[in-house]
A and B are shown apart, each in its own frame.
Chain A
Amino acid sequence: MSIGAEVPRDRAKRLLVGRGRYVDDISLPRMLHLAFVRSPYAHARIDAIDTSRAMALPGVVAVFTAADLDGAVSSWRAAHKLFPTMAAPEQGVLARDVVRWQGEAVAAVAAESRALAEDGAEQVAVEWHELTPVLDGNQALAPGAPVLHRDMTDNLAYETKITAGDVDAAFAGAAHVAEEHFRFHRHSGISLEPRGIIADFEPSESRLTVHQSHQTPHQQQDLYARLLGLPEHKVRVICPDVGGAFGLKHHLMADELTACVAAKLLARPVKYIADRLESFLSDIHCRDHEVHARMAFSREGEILGLHVDDLFNAGAYGQYPRTSIAEGNQISRLTGAPYRHENYRADLRMAFLNKSILGHIRSVGHPIACAVAERLIDLGAAHLGLDAIEVRRRNYLDDDDFPRTSTGGVEFEYLSLNPCLDKALEIIDVAQFRQEQAEARAKGVYRGIGVATFVELTAIGPEYYGEGGQHISAQETCLLRLEGSGTLRCYTGATDQGQGIDTGIQQVVADVLGLPLGDVEVISGDSALCPVGGGSWGSRGAALAGEAAMRAATTLRRNILSIAASLLQKNAAGLTIEQGVVVDTASGTTHMAVSEIARIGHFQPYSIPEGVAADLTVVERYATRDRMFLAGNGLQIAIVEVDVDSGIVMPLRHLVVHDCGRILNPLLVREQVRGGVVQGIGAALYEELRYDPDGHLLTGSFADYLVPMAGEMPDIEVAHIESPTKTSELGAKGAGEAGTAGAVGAILNAVNDAISPFDASIAEVPITPPRLLRALGRF
């Protein structure tokens, strides 16, 4: 069996010896380089732009402002038909009259080298008129606040509520109501390779070829075709090796589109690579929510009701084409989802403000939904004098609760909540920890343990973006091509940024077809070669592209065995393929190699009678039906030590018990989960995009924006419960969100447990030393 085996990745070999090919490694003849003039202000009017001094510099080929690009590219509005009342202000490729965040691009300089382009950008003179910036949601939604967008009367981008049962009655009848005001600050995905693009336009054929560090080549093909007015089949988007993505590379970015327009206008290849400061200023950001939440309990710890009020501090626009709503929507729908409760209310207000566009980064909304509910459970249990783990167990959805639609409206086929908890408690002896904790406290060492149960939504269905009006495929198609020699090429719409989905698909195909793994090559990341698909985001690769690959391999296997049966004059039902050879299932007798069937099928087709299914290139597709998501689940336990004098939190131990359905490759899944945990610990303790009162970003370098490094991170234990989804034959659910989804909640609870002797608590992340010392009354 290849599925489930710990197979290292083929692609990793060339990355290890410096033979990767990332966008910035590609150079095309007569290629120009782009640099941007970006707004130094969070909110300002542009009164005039003088490009003459820049144009006069040697090596500068062109300078573009918004006016220069009129007619060459369309503007867009981030709208979503499932959220019809959501505001969708118009955004253009460069800011025209007003800039709405520090870092928004107002002019682009194309030059013979990046250094010369930056020299040129320095010489572009802009007359600014500063406007009052709007920097948080409370200010943005207050009466009389400056309004960001001309076609809006206020800054309220969207408002909604979800209700189930009778929340007021539940709270009125509660023995205890746990209540907390949470602040989850703004951070981002921070891929080590910044965003980058090379656009290459061939005027004689109206052909645009784009090399881009991106997750979704087909989505970009559609966008570039429509916004530039090109026929879609003349646009090709190739994603070479991608140096990390985490959601920040599956959007349309105005600066990247500018490179495409410039290439079209100049008829020369144009490269744009964001530098690190530009990345902090202009990448998609995430989180930035202020959440007030209450959970009602019975005396025995039964959850009677839950109310979540989320103020979503979005950016200056909705992200395009997906819109920014999902993070707020996930919080509204997922908070408390692992628990049996009937009375629920979620309020959501999303505000536009003068910061970079906020949107989908790994584990969209999940960390907040998880942290809020898990913290309230710990607070409630403590007040009621109950064991918090037992309170969880008492309220978990259990095997006989499924299938179930949650109070937040999410459909769950099955969640293995109790099995995950049981496994976690086998690995970590909580009673023993409590004893060690008490002994340590006696010596002035403060340790804490935090538990967080999470649900992980994966494999989004066509009902979300298809219904929403976006051209984003939730369907995956796999094309298999048996070559004349009997080796196989597999073309998928999923893309691989290092997580290893190429290898997972390779394993599925090899397994079904009975071919050696090395005989299967997976080709991805090319909108011209690969079947239309959605790319990789939202943990969709294994569940959707994996299932499509399984279906295609099943069809090809049938055809290979049909040909074999016809040539051997045997019944195909009695034949199978092992290690590339057709054998008799019952006796194990070898008959003929797949290479022989491929040779005959391609070069001597006359040997195969009419009517035999003999296609050796096959295509199959898969999309979920009547289901917005699949759902994995799991549990994390964090153990931390808090230095109450410095406010520094040291993660000591971290456990994830995870159920992602069928596991294609445990070697890859384990480190994928650990990587997610580390990003979650970063969000919990270090990472924050901070702005000064004028809306100027204070964290524009890795000296100011702290990311987790090896030294601060603990070893992370990963265990699995495997409950395959029955909605597909393969049974995979997806694994990319889990680590990030639960880590913030686990760390938040662990820190609060550690500082409980001081009668202190904290509900603001990241838990930086100053914040923690303030919580302790020591700063």
Chain B
Amino acid sequence: MSNKLRRIALTVNGEAVEREVPVRLNLVDFLRHELGFTGSHVGCEHGACGACTVLLDEQTVRGCLTLAVQADGCAVRTIEGAGENELMVDLQAAFHRLNALQCGFCTPGMLFSAQELLQANPAPSREEIRDYLSGNFCRCTGYQAIVDAVQAVAQMRHGARHGGRHGAPGP
């Protein structure tokens, strides 16, 4: 395997970072092992589970399918630096209050997807929430508390319409 190195400069959570990295190093390993941002998790390394989801220039990307060198010149935001966004803070509070996480391994990625959904669609239906979060695998919850939490934040912030095939969101 190639151990070729390349120098990259980027910002991570608003701080300037400059490093020489192997070209084969993916972004999530770079964030975790080189910079210590261990809030982004590695669940499958083939882009399916969503646990490594981070923001690259405000767009969600899979940290395992993005090479560190691709982030050269970009702004990366991880869950550790996500609290500057009020919507994210609301989501985190609702996830806590409604028990929308158990082991927490999927949670950072799930939160980024939920944030992106509500930025694009402030009043999603339950079906739209379920559909948008379908790139993030959660093995512990029944997804329902997650959907409840996202819907609760949408309703709180934008008075979204009630939706869902059956019943209102949980207490």
Q: By the criterion CB–CB under 8 Å, are A702 and B165 in contact?
A: no
Residue in contact with A276 in the complex, picked from B44, B96, B164, CB distance below 8 Å: B44
Q: By the criterion CB–CB under 8 Å, are A15 and B107 in contact?
A: yes
Q: Tell me, yes or no, whether B39 is within 8 Å of chain A by CB.
A: yes
Q: Tell me, yes or no, whether B30 is within 8 Å of chain A by CB.
A: no
Instruction: Select the stretch in A98-106, A473-481, A561-569, A673-681 that faces chain B.
Output: A673-681
B71-130 at interface with A (beta carbon < 8 Å)? 78-80, 82-83, 92, 95-108, 111, 126, 129-130
Instruction: Select the stretch in B55-63, B133-141, B154-162 that faces chain A.
Output: B133-141
Q: Name the residue on A nearest B105 (C-beta).
A: A243
**Residue among B48, B100, B139 with most chain A CB within 10 A:** B139
> How big is the A interface, by class?
35 or more
Q: By the criterion CB–CB under 8 Å, are A17 and B39 in contact?
A: yes
Contact flag A707-B137 (CB < 8 Å), given A17-B80, A18-B80, A276-B46 = yes
Q: By the criterion CB–CB under 8 Å, are A497 and B103 in contact?
A: yes
Residue in contact with A18 in the complex, picked from B40, B103, B135, CB distance below 8 Å: B40
Instruction: Select the stretch in A78-86, A199-207, A332-340, A710-718 that faces chain B.
Output: A710-718
Q: By the criterion CB–CB under 8 Å, are A192 and B103 in contact?
A: yes
The smallest beta-carbon distance between A708 and chain B, in angstroms, is 8
Q: Name the residue on A nearest B130 (C-beta).
A: A710
Q: Tell me, yes or no, whether B4 is within 8 Å of chain A by CB.
A: no
Interchain CA distance A108-B79 in the complex, whole Å = 34
The smallest beta-carbon distance between B132 and chain A, in angstroms, is 8
* Cβ proximity bits A111-130 to B, threshold 8 Å, 1 near / 0 not: 00001001100100000000
Q: By the criterion CB–CB under 8 Å, are B104 and A675 in contact?
A: no
Interchain CA distance A675-B99 in the complex, whole Å = 12
Residue in contact with B139 in the complex, picked from A8, A13, A244, A717, CB distance below 8 Å: A244
The smallest beta-carbon distance between B21 and chain A, in angstroms, is 12
Q: By the criterion CB–CB under 8 Å, are B145 and A499 in contact?
A: no
* Cβ proximity bits A696-721 to B, threshold 8 Å, 1 near / 0 not: 00000111000111111111110000
Q: By the criterion CB–CB under 8 Å, are A714 and B165 in contact?
A: yes
Interchain CA distance A246-B105 in the complex, whole Å = 14
The smallest beta-carbon distance between B86 and chain A, in angstroms, is 14
Q: Tell me, yes or no, whether B24 is within 8 Å of chain A by CB.
A: yes
Query: Which residues of B lie under 8 Å from residue A17 when comparing CB positions?
Result: 39, 79-80, 82-83, 92
Q: Tell me, yes or no, whether A19 is within 8 Å of chain B by CB.
A: yes
Q: By the criterion CB–CB under 8 Å, are B99 and A713 in contact?
A: no
Residue in contact with A671 in the complex, picked from B41, B99, B165, CB distance below 8 Å: B99
22 sample A-B contacts, Cβ–Cβ < 8 Å, listed by A number: A9-B96, A13-B96, A15-B103, A17-B92, A19-B39, A24-B32, A190-B139, A243-B41, A243-B104, A671-B100, A671-B142, A672-B102, A675-B139, A675-B141, A678-B141, A678-B143, A679-B139, A701-B44, A702-B48, A713-B142, A714-B166, A715-B144
Other CB < 8 Å A-B pairs besides A18-B82, A675-B140, 5 of them? A9-B96, A192-B51, A192-B138, A245-B103, A671-B142
Q: Which residues of A contact B (CB under 8 A)?
A: 6, 8-9, 12-13, 15-22, 24-25, 27, 115, 118-119, 122, 189-194, 241-246, 275-276, 497-500, 652-653, 667-668, 670-679, 701-703, 707-717, 739
